[in-house]
Amino acid sequence: MTDLFSPARFGAIELANRVVMSSLTRNRAGAGNVPTPLVAEYYRQRASAGLILTEATPICAEGHGYPRTPGIHTAEQVAGWKRVTGAVHDAGGRIALQLWHVGRISHPDLQPGGAAPVAPSAIRPAGQVFTGQAMKDYVTPRALELSEIPGLVATYAQAARNAMEAGFDGVEVHAGNGYLLDQFLRSSTNRRSDAYGGSKENRARLLLEVMEAVCREIGADRVGVRLSPVTPFNDLSDDDPQATFEYVVARLDPLKLAFLDILQGTGGAPREQWIPFDYDRLRALYTGNFIRNNGYDFQSAQQAVSSGAADAIAFGRLLLANPDLVERFRRGAPLNAPDYETFYTGEEKGYTDYPFLKP
């Protein structure tokens, strides 16, 4: 019987088990948004997971929206990531880079030349952003011109090529959590009247073009995608998320991707507070490898995999606090509690100093 400890093949990527490390922003990059040796050690410690999905990684300078997030758009960043992938591979692990553009969830203080962030439409998000010096209100973004979109698609493809140069086993295109591709998908943030706005088919056009370009660049068997159908994170919503995401998943299925990563629920809210959504319908529409993400413990993860509801389960905070989570699951051992104060600050503290089980 297939369970959480069973090996798997996700396209060209061989997984030793079905425990996936979810993408987790940690804000520990060095100067120039370059991954440091400390970042390499962090991921090396967690190499026993079947597949590591890295922290979200901007594809270009304009894609940054938070301080100290490692990029994949300079030679120095590629070299830094090579240290990371080498450390993970030496420890027997597999690792995929999450490709990211934050869109409007940024600030001129974080943009080249102090420019306005870009978005599908000029709609200012509610809330504030930490610019590295202070919390500041979000600004009204600049709507992308139609003529700019082919260049954006090409930038995603180049970032995927850079990831391969850095030694990654694959990439995950980040199309969730209220960032640029998700902003195009959702009716609340996309008010365009051209071929990239209006109907769900038009709102999905950019994501599908990006996916096709990335697949052409590095092969679909090394490409996954993250979707988060009902998260309200970063001030967005959709008039009919079920219809929108059923369409998206049905269009993604023929690409024969390595995997589809679905973030269930609404952020850290308990399951009883989740916005209703039929995730099983997405599973039925998608014939490839299906990762469920958010709110799982060992028992619920085992049940999901053994029942066929998922091919793997992604864990975030549990793997953050338990680098040896797979072994703890095997032994039924107690789990370390995550230190929420050090999620986004602390250097080694709350990053590489969580204890391992004794042999």
Catalytic positions, written as ranges: 179
Structure tokens at 66: 């938070």
Helix or strand run (H / E) with residue 137: strand 135-137
Provide CB contacts within 8 A for 324, sequence distance 6+.
48, 356, 357
CA distance 269 to 184: 25
* End-to-end Cα spacing for the chain: 28
3-class secondary structure, 99: strand
Q: Are 179 and 155 in contact (CB under 8 A)?
A: no
Going by their DSSP bridges, the two strands 118-119 and 142-143 should be labelled as: parallel
Residue 337 DSSP class? P
Quick one: how far is CA 229 from the chain centroid?
Answer: 14
Provide CB contacts within 8 A for 261, sequence distance 6+.
20, 53, 172, 224, 225, 226, 227, 291, 293, 314
Helix or strand run (H / E) with residue 143: strand 142-143
